[in-house]
Structure 1
Amino acid sequence: MSSVNGRDGSHGGDGRDGRSRGEGGDEVGQGRSVDASAVVVGFARALRAAGVDASPDRVQAFLGALDVLDPGARSDVYWAGRLTLCGSQDDLERYERVFAAYFGGRPCVAPARSAPPPRTRTVLRGAGTVPRAAARSEDAVPVAVLADSTDVLRHRDFAELTAAERDQLRRLRAAFTLRGEARRTARRHPARRGAVDPRRTVRELLRGGGEPVRLRHRARADRPRRVVLLVDVSGSMGPYADALLRFAHAALHGPRAGGAARGTRTEVFTIGTRLTRVTRELAHRDPDTAMAALAAAVPDWRGGTRLGEMLRGFLDRWGRRGMARGAVVVVLSDGWERGDPALLAEQMRRLHRLAHRVIWANPRKARPGYAPLAGGMAAALPSVDAFVEGHSPAALERLAAVVRGADS
C-alpha cells in the first residue's frame, strides 16, 4: 500500500522519480508513493476556493504539524489542518466541507461549532501518542492516497470523465462556493474600530446614568457583488455544459451564496439560440431534480450559437433592470459564434461599461496550442477583464478566486 514520505517529495519502493498522476496516469497505490507536499498544496487550494484564508504561512505550519504526526492517519491530518489553516469561526464550517470532499468519508468530529477548544487540544496531543494499532479503522485509511485521487479528478477535463468519475464530482461540488468581489455599502454596522457611533454611545451613556462609558464605533459593511453566470449550452459546448451547470447549481446553494435561497446574489442564464433565465429551476436543492427542471425549461439545448444576439437580449431586458450593473458577469463559452462578430463586439462593450468586471471562462483554453482566433472569441476579448480556463473542477476553483477579486 502506498505511503506518504516527507516534504522533500522523495519516494520509496523501486526508487523511480515520482511523477504527478496527471502525467503518468498510473493508479494510486500500485507500486508508487504519494507526494505529501502536493496533496497539502492541493488541499490548501481547495480551501482557498471555499473562502478559507489558507495562507502560505499556515500551509507551512500544516506541513510542520504533519512532520510530527502521522500523515497517513485521517484524524491526524484533520486536526493538524484544522488548528493551522482555520483562522475564524466561519472557517470551521468550510473546513469541514472541504475536508470531507477532498479526503472522503465522514467528518472526524461533530459540526465545528459544537467542538469546544479545550477538547481540541486534548485530542491533538493524544494523536501523537496513541499506538497505531489502537487507532480507529477509519484512521487506517491512507488519506493521502484518497486525496491524491481526488486531486487528479480535480484536474481532469470534463469531456474525458467517465460516468463513475462524474458521480464522484458530487463531493467536490459540495465544497464549491462562488462569492462575488466585496464592495463597500452605505449601511454601517457596529465595529471595534472606525467612526464613533453617536447614537449607540449616547444610549450607553443614558443607560449608565450619565457616567462616562467606552465610545461605540461603527464601520461600513462589505457586501459581495452580484454574480451573473451566462452558460453556453450550444452543440459545441455539449461535453461541458452539463458539468458547468451543475457547478452553477452548487454556487447557488453554497454557504452564504445567496442566489435562489436569498434571491439576488447569484443569477444563472443559458445562452445558445435563445436566452433563458434558469435561476428558479436551479433553486431545487437536489441537483438531479434541478437539472431535470432546467432541461425542460431550456428549448435550445445543444443547438446553434448566437452570442451577440443573446447578449443584446440580456442587456436590453435585464441590464435595464440593474441585474448586471456593478455585477461580476461570467461568460462560460468556447466563443464559437454563428452570427456577426461585430455585433458581439458591440454588445460586449455595452456589457463592459455596465458591469463591474467581465470574466470569460473558455473550456478549450487549456488545450495545447489554443489561440483565441475564432471570430467570436477574438471580437469579445478586448472587452474582457479576465480570460480563464473552464474545463475542470480545478479551473473552476481558480475562476471562483478571480470572481472574488484575486489575481487571475
Structure 2
Amino acid sequence: MTLPDNGLASPQGRLAENITHFARALRRAGLPVGPGRVTDAIRAVAAAGFTEREDFYWTLHAIFVSRPEQRVVFHQCFRLFWRDPQFLEHMMSFMLPQIKGTHEDRRAEVGEKRAAQALLGEARPEPPPLPEGMAEADPQIEMDATATQSAEERLKTLDFEQMSVEEMAEAKRMLARLALPVAPLPSRRLQASALGTRIDPRATIRAALRHGGEVMALHHRKPRIRWPNLVVICDISGSMSQYSRMVLHFLHSVANARGQGRHQGWAKVHGFTFGTRLTNITRHLATRDVDAALRAAGAEAQDWAGGTRIGASLAAFNRDWSRRVLGQGAVVLLITDGLDRDEGSVLAREMERLHLSCRRLIWLNPLLRWEGFVPKATGIRAMLPHVDSFRAGHSIASIEALAAVISDPGDTGEKTRLMRLMSSNKG
C-alpha cells in the first residue's frame, strides 16, 4: 500500500489529525500514550516521510511502542485504523451476539478484541439481516448461550488472551480477591500442648519434683506445624506474555495476603521469571502497590516476550536457588507452555532434579485450554513425567480450580490421562 505524500505539507491534509486519533485509540487499548508522544509521532512522520506503508508503520511503532508486550496491540490497532476493510468487518463481528449457522465461529487472536474495543468504542453495529427465506424455513433461531450468562461467570471462563482492556481490569480485581490456601505440615519437632497425644516425661518429672516427687498430672506434647514456601517459576516468553502477567498479578496478591503463616499458609512466597535467562523477582513482590511491583519486575526481566530456554533456566534455578528456597516442604508452581528450544535430555534431567527437591511440583500450561490437547512437543514430553500435577492455567476458573486442590497430594490433573496417551503412542 502506498500512502499519500502530501498529508502534512498540505493545509488540507488530515494525516496529523489521524495520527492524533490513532494515538487516542492506542491509549484506550492500554498503551501509555501521552501528548508528548503524539507530537513526536507527527514530527517523526514529517521527517522520515510516509510514502510506503511499511515505513509509516515502523515510524509510528518506534514512537508509541516502548515495551515488547505492547507490540501485538499496536499491530492490531494499526491494521484496523489504517483502512483494512476486511479486518474492520471482522472486528465489528466481535461486538455482535453470534447467531449459529450464519457465519463462521472464529475466536479473536491476541490483542484483536482490545483493538476492536478501542477503535469502535461504545458503538455497536446493527446485526446483519438474516438470509432470505430463513425465517420461514427455521423460525426458531438458536442464539449463543454465552449472551445469557452473567458477566462475572463468563469472565471466569474467558481466556486471558481474549480479554478486552475492561475485562482484564475486572479479571485482575477478581484475582486479587482469590486465596491460595495450603494445609500446614507437621514436623518431627514437638511442642507442649494440653491436648497433645504424646506424654512429655521431662516436663512431667520436673513438675513432680516441685511437689516432693509426687506426679500430680501428666504433661503432653504434640508435633509442631510449619508452613511451606511457595515458589513460582513463570515463563515470560512471547507465547506466554499475557498469561504470565495475569498469574504474576495473582501471585502478588498471594504474597501480600493478610494472615500469612497463620490462616492460609505460605511461610514465604518466592517468584522467578524466565525467558532466555532466570530472574529473581521476589523482592519486587513485597511492594504493596501491584502496578509498581509488576512494573519493577518487568524492568528487571529484560527477556520479557522473547525466546524460551526452559532447560537452561531450570538448570540455573537448580544450581543457584534450589537449596535456598525449596526447604521446609516447598510447593513449586511452574507456569509455561513447554515449548522449548533446548535439548530434551537436558530439560528432562533438570525437571527431575527440581521434582526431587520440592514436596510438590505443579505445572500450569495454558495449552490445556484446547480440547483434545496431545503432548506432541518434545519439551512437553520431557517434562510431563516429572510433575505431580498437570493443570490448565489460562483463566480465572483454572486458577480457582488450582486453589481447591493445591494441598491435595492425590491430585494429578491431566497428567494421568496424558501419560497413558503417551504410552499408547509409543506402543
Pick the TM interval, shorter chain. Answer: 0.5 to 0.7
Question: What's the counterpart of residue 254 of structure 2?
Answer: 251
Question: What's the counterpart of residue 313 of structure 2?
Answer: 310
Q: TM-score, normalised by structure 1?
A: 0.59
1:236 aligns with 2:252: no
Question: What's the counterpart of residue 351 of structure 1?
Answer: 354
Cα deviation, residue 170, structure 1: 3.9
1:253–1:209 Cα change, 3 Å: farther
Question: Partners of 1:371 and 1:198 in 2: how far apart?
Answer: 59
Cα deviation, residue 199, structure 1: 5.4
Question: What's the counterpart of residue 392 of structure 1?
Answer: 395
User: Among residues 290, 300, 304, which one is paired with 2:303 in the alignment?
Assistant: 300
Question: Partners of 2:404 and 2:350 in 1: how far apart?
Answer: 26
Tell me the SS of whatever aligns to 2:147. coil
Instruction: Please list every run of 5 or more consecutive structure 2 residues that lacks an aligned counterpart in the other structure.
Output: 1-141, 414-427
Cα deviation, residue 209, structure 1: 9.2
Q: Percent identity?
A: 38
Range 263-272 or range 330-339, more displaced = 263-272
User: Among residues 355, 360, 363, which one is paired with 1:360 in the alignment?
Assistant: 363
Question: What's the counterpart of residue 338 of structure 2?
Answer: 335
Cα deviation, residue 279, structure 1: 0.8
Matches within 5 A, 1:8-407: 24-27=145-148, 148-180=150-182, 182-189=184-191, 190-198=193-201, 201=204, 213-257=216-260, 265-321=268-324, 323=326, 326-405=329-408, 407=411
1:263–1:26 Cα change, 3 Å: closer
Question: Partners of 1:255 and 1:287 in 2: how far apart?
Answer: 15
Q: Does the Cα contact within 8 Å between 2:260 and 2:267 map onto a contact in 1? A: no
1:174–1:197 Cα change, 3 Å: farther
Question: What's the counterpart of residue 131 of structure 1?
Answer: none
The Cα offsets for residues 14-47 of structure 1, whole Å up to 9 and x where unpaired, read as xxxxx9x9x711145xxxxxxxxxxxxxxxxxxx
Cα deviation, residue 227, structure 1: 1.8
Cα deviation, residue 158, structure 1: 1.1
* 1:150 partner letter: E
The Cα offsets for residues 106-126 of structure 1, whole Å up to 9 and x where unpaired, read as xxxxxxxxxxxxxxxxxxxxx
Q: TM-score, normalised by structure 2?
A: 0.56
Question: Partners of 1:185 and 1:325 in 2: how far apart?
Answer: 9
1:337–1:325 Cα change, 3 Å: farther
- Indicate the RMSD between aligned Cα atoms, in angstroms: 3.0
Cα deviation, residue 155, structure 1: 2.1
Question: What's the counterpart of residue 80 of structure 2?
Answer: none
Question: Partners of 2:209 and 2:327 in 1: how far apart?
Answer: 46
Cα deviation, residue 204, structure 1: 6.3
Cα deviation, residue 179, structure 1: 4.1
The number of residue pairs the alignment matches comes to 267
Tell me the SS of whatever aligns to 1:187. strand
Q: Does the Cα contact within 8 Å between 2:230 and 2:266 map onto a contact in 1? A: no
Cα deviation, residue 150, structure 1: 2.8
Question: Partners of 1:211 and 1:324 in 2: how far apart?
Answer: 44
Instruction: Please list every run of 5 or more consecutive structure 1 residues that lacks an aligned counterpart in the other structure.
Output: 1-18, 29-147
Question: Partners of 1:170 and 1:348 in 2: how far apart?
Answer: 31
The Cα offsets for residues 140-198 of structure 1, whole Å up to 9 and x where unpaired, read as xxxxxxxx543332222211222222222344223322344532213323251311234
1:317–1:264 Cα change, 3 Å: farther
1:248–1:388 Cα change, 3 Å: same
Q: Does the Cα contact within 8 Å between 1:182 and 1:404 map onto a contact in 2? A: no
Q: Does the Cα contact within 8 Å between 1:232 and 1:332 map onto a contact in 2? A: yes
* 1:26 partner letter: A
Tell me the SS of whatever aligns to 1:339. coil
1:253–1:322 Cα change, 3 Å: closer
Question: Partners of 2:245 and 2:308 in 1: how far apart?
Answer: 16
Asked which structure has the greater CA Rg, the reply is: 2
